[in-house]
Amino acid sequence: MPCVGALLTVIFSLPDPEALSLLITASCPGGSSSNVAAYWVEGDMSLRLIFLMEMEPVYFQLFFKTSV
């Protein structure tokens, strides 16, 4: 995805702030793109959302040393 983001910035000649935001989004896909990816591979969306809700507090505890 980062290569696609870089290609899009070149094709559309985006200004620097927009190009940077597109590259960050392409390099670190979040919830919406993971939903699309799970849908494309016909994944179980309910299981994906349950896993997200269960693991998010664990991630906060590990990375930020705080609880949610």
Tell me the C-alpha distance between 26 and 10, whole Å.
Answer: 14
57-65: long-range contacts, CB 8 A cutoff, minimum separation 24? none
This model's pTM is above 0.85: no
Q: Running DSSP on this structure, what letter comes out for residue 41? A: T
The predicted structure's pLDDT at residue 49: 74
Question: Model confidence over 14-61: pLDDT tens digits?
Answer: 898 888 888 777 776 666 667 777 777 887 777 777 776 777 777 677
The predicted structure's pLDDT at residue 28: 67
For the chain, give the number of residues: 68
- Residue range of the domain that includes 58: 2-64
> Which residues, 6+ apart, have CB-to-CB distance to 52 below 8 Å?
31
For residue 5, pLDDT over 60 is answered with yes
The predicted structure's pLDDT at residue 58: 75
**Number of structural domains, the chain?**
1
Q: Do 27 and 2 meet the contact criterion of CB atoms below 8 Å apart? A: yes
